[in-house]
Structure 1
């Protein structure tokens, strides 16, 4: 009898241990599956300088004509700025060079900053040369604007974490570090941050920030004080970072889309939300997709919601797909929404474009 009892408990322990290690193994797999990497760049980065200049000019058009049709790309290299695209507006009196100068000053590339860093290291608003290649909007596109102005796919997402503005933790963290460093005056304005997270743990932070003396100590202390944890911290991996902005790198609009949207947390449609007025689906339907994802998340028990939207030029119908983190379709339907309805919902007839570029595409949702 005792041997039977012994065998029973022996097998029970073996099975329990087996399930314990299986559970442990699954937990570890899930833990490492949750490894995420995201980066962020500041408004002083050359690509964001280009985005901001386009948005800044658009705001000036909108102030004078809220129904301006606008699609203007920007390229910035050294002190040369190229503006190319299409604009149709009742506003004709636009000083493009003056607006580019004001945009640069607003970012922080002002006279004191240039004196501190030297004109050989940063863009100089007083010395810029602006080339314009701007025509009126195509009549073919204009004819379709009773519906959507283009075809395309657009994505929105939301996670159940109010403390990260319903954004993925890794994305929020990379952006938060960047914003704090940008406001700290510890270095220059052209800042890149990147993080690696496992679940809610930080494992690595990478910072690239212009420093005149190459002394990274103050930046390292600042990051450690603001973000606790046992993580690897790298500041200026090449050792020296002085020349920056468009002097160090050519900036082009729409080249930091993953940074502008959700980091590695969600698909993106590929179209830039910047450089365009509210009639363009690349702006309006990306905002709408984010709002739909956020609204659905708040009304459900899900931890992650993704919304995909598709549209057709000249038509008002949009296809909407709502999925969870396992890509299970929760809802699929067709909705009739005119561009003007969503434009009004997000106040896109008002000069808010430079604020969206500065604060974040979804900062007003």
Structure 2
């Protein structure tokens, strides 16, 4: 056996509540001013929502704006839920909201807001990853965990008298050997782990039976589930008290689930809560776009791309490609790195215009969606488009 594991969490998970509130703020501020600068953090705990950070916008907004963003985000997630009491879940209208927003430091603005350019909003390194395990060039265990998440989350919304919207999923894949792992050949699902909140009126055996039946009915990978596959559903016995009532949530704590499920390194900071000048967000999208092109063009079976920046400087400090020993081209990784760096500017302004990051709704996505589903891996996102595939395929 050679096992590898990834997990995912639903929008109702406390950390995701924080991310989604933060990105609702980003979406709404960009509607008001596409040049808004945003870096807000959210902490949800018990019946309290605390919003803090820095914002720069050419509009007059007050604390009620942020409170309304939080309430609408929680309603988008699915709170409050039928079938649960105020001691078991949260009710957005009854929460205590605190807002501590100040204006972005002018010292940051000096470096970021340049004439005809955008300086990087922070220093750091961002990671892109792609693999040919699946048609979407994403790692299999992660996308299986996300698929289960979506099945169970949608089921919870359809059956609110039984299930809650706070849940986690985890998939353990068996590649059978390190060689198969290196070649991106998963063989079977070894374990499925689920934490699913539910009504106190239903016993655990019924819950487990219901969820297993649902998985076998709706999951696309049931052919990889065999008689040896183990299921762990609600390992503590019950999961009635849930959401921020049961556990606090904070922006940026689910970056592994949001990106590559531990199949690749994690770069700088989180994406949620930040505007597009923050390269934690825009740099990650660009790095994923490059890595996906490398694999889709057949240059390698998998690729890690690192892009690094320094605050106030537009051009990246480095662009580094690592094909992890799977290269199928005559080019060395360092040669491929140089070709990519020379062809694509990869400045925050170039990335922003390339993917429409300053006008997300106009370009077919919202930051709330990226917070709820994952920052990469969905073809609707502009940074998932293979629009430079011919150039990559032309490389020797």
Tell me which interval the TM-score lies in, with the shorter structure as reference length: 0.7 to 0.9
TM superposition shift of 1:41: 0.5
Question: 1:209, 1:235 within 8 Å by CA — same for their partners in 2?
Answer: yes
Q: Say whether 1:345 aligns with 2:343.
A: no
For structure 2, list consecutive stretches of 5 or more residues without a partner in the other structure: 176-185, 361-365, 385-396
Inter-partner Cα distance in structure 1 for 2:146 and 2:195: 13
Q: Say whether 1:332 aligns with 2:337.
A: yes
1:12-51 to 2 correspondence within 5 Å? 32=2, 35-51=3-19
Indicate which of 352, 368, 375 corresponds to 1:354. Answer: 368
Inter-partner Cα distance in structure 1 for 2:26 and 2:314: 25
In structure 2, the residue matched to 1:206 is 193
Q: Say whether 1:129 aligns with 2:96.
A: yes
In structure 2, the residue matched to 1:189 is 165
Inter-partner Cα distance in structure 2 for 1:130 and 1:143: 32
Inter-partner Cα distance in structure 2 for 1:191 and 1:297: 32
TM superposition shift of 1:301: 4.0
Question: 2:300, 2:326 within 8 Å by CA — same for their partners in 1?
Answer: no
Indicate which of 137, 149, 155 corresponds to 2:121. Answer: 149
In structure 2, the residue matched to 1:70 is 38
For structure 1, list consecutive stretches of 5 or more residues without a partner in the other structure: 1-30
In structure 2, the residue matched to 1:171 is 142
Q: Which runs of 4+ in 1 moved over 3 A?
A: 326-329, 334-337
TM superposition shift of 1:285: 0.2
TM superposition shift of 1:327: 8.5
Larger radius of gyration: 1
Inter-partner Cα distance in structure 1 for 2:146 and 2:83: 26
TM superposition shift of 1:271: 0.4
In structure 2, the residue matched to 1:218 is 210
Q: Which secondary structure state, in structure 1, belongs to the residue aligned with residue 337 of structure 2?
A: strand
Inter-partner Cα distance in structure 1 for 2:273 and 2:373: 16
1:100-111 to 2 correspondence within 5 Å? 100-110=70-80
* Cα offsets for 1:179-198 (capped at 9, x unmatched): 11111125210110111101
In structure 2, the residue matched to 1:87 is 55
Inter-partner Cα distance in structure 2 for 1:143 and 1:174: 43
Inter-partner Cα distance in structure 2 for 1:207 and 1:358: 18
In structure 2, the residue matched to 1:294 is 292
- Stretch of structure 1 that moved more, 342-351 or 242-251: 342-351
- Stretch of structure 1 that moved more, 355-364 or 331-340: 331-340
Q: Which secondary structure state, in structure 1, belongs to the residue aligned with residue 53 of structure 2?
A: strand
Q: Which secondary structure state, in structure 2, belongs to the residue aligned with residue 282 of structure 1?
A: helix
Q: Say whether 1:266 aligns with 2:270.
A: no
Normalised by the length of structure 1, the TM-score is 0.86
* Cα offsets for 1:116-139 (capped at 9, x unmatched): 111111111111111111111111
Question: 1:81, 1:128 within 8 Å by CA — same for their partners in 2?
Answer: yes
Q: Say whether 1:235 aligns with 2:230.
A: no
Q: Which secondary structure state, in structure 1, belongs to the residue aligned with residue 372 of structure 2?
A: helix
Q: Which secondary structure state, in structure 1, belongs to the residue aligned with residue 83 of structure 2?
A: helix
Question: 1:96, 1:130 within 8 Å by CA — same for their partners in 2?
Answer: no
* Cα offsets for 1:278-299 (capped at 9, x unmatched): 0100000000000000111122
Normalised by the length of structure 2, the TM-score is 0.80
